[in-house]
Amino acid sequence: MPEPGLPDFTLETCSSITAIPKEEWRRLAGHTNPFLRYEFFQALEESACTSEATGWTPSHLIFRSAGKIVGLAPAFLKSHSMGEYVFDWAWADAYQRHGLDYYPKLLIAVPFTPSAGPRLLLDNALRKQLGPEQLHDLLDTLTGNLGAHSWHLLFPDTEDQKLLHHDTELHRIGCQFHWHNHGYGNFEDFLAALNSRKRKSIRKERRQVAEQGISFARFHGREIPERVLSAFYVFYQATYLKRGQQPYLNKRFFERLLAQLPEHVHFIMAVHEDEMIAGALFLTGEDTLYGRYWGCLDEYNHLHFETCYYQGIELAIDLGLPHIDAGAQGEHKLVRGFEPVITHSWHGILHPGFREAIENFTREEADHVLGYFNDAQSALPFRQQAPE
């Protein structure tokens, strides 16, 4: 698809991360964000977590100019909407009621990962030349050529948002809760920033966990023994099975993740009477601790909050990371010092009638999300508004 002003410029897809030279991916994606590492997508494919059978057919985007790779993007042809965290089930249902196909759709995203970051891995020259209208036109055309009915780009960072935003396109926003270190040297410094009632509540929760005889152990990188990974995977599975779902990721994925990206991986395991009873997986980026997966078999008072949030805060402080992204959902995070942040996604709907209806929906939805965000900001538990 040649684009005016960009000689020999094309956009194509490939069916495996291995079809892209590793050095090209690393050149454009860097090495600090664990979810953009070549090895992360390789682990997903090698474990068959992203495959046609799972509804995640790899279809990574390749931008070329004069035959040279000038941009990449992680992308998949999807036959469902699971594992995305930007929910479009109602859109799919509306298509079905009208006898139309919603799937396949082209998804530009990191699988199973509702964390903002770069999605369009473009070299500087291409980013300067490519405008929002050109990009949307390219994606619309590619989507049609693939036999898909829509494209969706989820959780872009601010640089990609500049390239995606223009007035006639479908833009959705959401709200998550993230923790920020406002100069805390330890957990007590963080507690001191909270109002008295919330500070007492958190101390009570932590005390009740300790009174149940539960302690915590940290494991990092190549020092993680197989018994810890095996125990964690049992806990992780339980989180899904309790809801009647199969887990998105298999043990092979976690084995490959640990083998290929050990420098990013941390486990916090809860221990009771010398037995591991729960665990949480964290990944580290340049300035962020990502809290991703957690699980336990039995119920213990406040164990989830302690393992995923309070232990996570202590880990972030110890590692010198100023930010925790603990994933989607969770007003319960707000009262524990996690602050609301707006997330973004862009959507290309090829059917003109549904495009108009979805555009109206996203505008109404945005009003509700912004109202919720403002309410959440006013409910922060700090003694005074945390500094910017």
157-200 pLDDT, tens per residue? Answer: 999 999 999 877 899 999 999 999 999 999 999 999 999 999 99
Same-domain status, 345 and 311: no
Assess if residue 332 is contained within a domain: no
* Parent domain of 129: 9-174+341-378
Q: What is the DSSP letter of 307?
A: I
What CA–CA distance (Å, rounded) separates 252 from 376? 39
Beta bridge partners of 61: 13, 73
pLDDT of residue 39: 98
189 and 116 assigned to the same domain: no
204 and 141: one domain?
no
Q: Do 291 and 346 reside in the same domain of the chain?
A: no
Nearest to 338 by CA among 155, 204, 178: 178
pLDDT tens sequence across 233-271: 999 999 999 888 899 999 999 999 999 999 999 999 999
Q: Say whether both 154 and 17 belong to one domain.
A: yes
Q: For the chain, where are the E strands, in sequence order?
A: 9-14, 56-58, 60-65, 68-73, 75-78, 105-108, 121-122, 150-154, 170-180, 214-220, 265-272, 275-284, 288-296, 323-325, 339-349
pLDDT over 80 at 386, yes or no: no
Measured CA to CA, the distance from residue 86 to residue 8 in angstroms comes to 34
| Amino acid type, 19 | A
| Residue-by-residue DSSP string for 36-101 | G-HHHHHHHHHTTSSSTTTTEEE-EEEEEETTEEEEEE-EEEESS-TT-SS--HHHHHHHHHTT--
pLDDT of residue 152 exceeding 90 = yes
* Beta-strand runs (E) in 224-381: 265-272, 275-284, 288-296, 323-325, 339-349
Same structural domain, 240 and 111: no
Check whether residue 169 and residue 313 sit in a common domain.
no
Say whether 214 sits in a helix, a strand or coil: strand
The 323-325 sheet, strands edge to edge: 56-58, 75-78, 105-108, 150-154, 339-349, 170-180, 323-325, 288-296, 275-284, 265-272, 214-220
Q: Are residues 68 and 91 in the same domain?
A: yes
Does 273 share its domain with 168?
A: no
- Interval 93-132: pLDDT, tens: 999 999 999 999 999 999 999 999 999 999 999 999 999 9
Q: Are residues 133 and 163 in the same domain?
A: yes
The pLDDT of residue 34 is above 80: yes
Beta-bridge partners for 341: 176
Read off the tokens for 369: 């999300």
Domain for residue 336, yes or no?
no
Listed in order, strand segments (DSSP E) in 141-213 are 150-154, 170-180
User: Residue 231: which CATH number?
Assistant: 3.40.630.30
Mean pLDDT of 193-209: 97
Instruction: Summarize pLDDT for 341-355 with one digit per residue, the tens.
Output: 999 999 999 999 999
- Per the CB < 8 A criterion, the answer to whether 311 and 302 are in contact is no
Q: Does residue 271 sit in the same domain as residue 197?
A: yes
Q: Are strands 288-296 and 323-325 parallel, antiparallel or unpaired?
A: parallel
What's the domain count of the chain? 2
Residue 349 lies in a domain: yes
pLDDT at position 8 is 67
In a domain, 211, yes or no: yes
One domain, residues 160 and 32: yes
Q: Is residue 2 part of a domain?
A: no
pLDDT at position 385 is 53
pLDDT digits (tens, 9 = 90+) for 280-322: 999 999 999 999 899 999 999 999 999 999 999 999 999 999 9
- Other CB atoms within a 10 A radius of the CB of residue 195 amount to 13
Q: How confident is the model at residue 327 (pLDDT cuts 50, 70, 90)?
A: confident
Is 387 inside a domain boundary?
A: no
Q: Would residue 1 count as lying in a domain?
A: no
Backbone angles phi, psi at 70, to 5 degrees: -120, 0
First to last CA, the chain: 44
Pair of tokens at residue 8: 């020999």
- 121-146 burial: b if 16+ Cβ within 10 Å, else e: bbbeebbeebebebbbebbeebbeeb
**Residue 74 main-chain phi, psi, to 5 deg:** -70, 125
* Helix 251-260 with 38-46: angle, nearest 10 deg: 150
Q: Which of 179, 191, 183 is nearest to 290 (CA)?
A: 179
Residue 293 CA from chain centroid, whole number:
11
Whether residue 388 is predicted with pLDDT greater than 70 in this model: the reply is no
In a domain, 383, yes or no: no
pLDDT of residue 232: 97
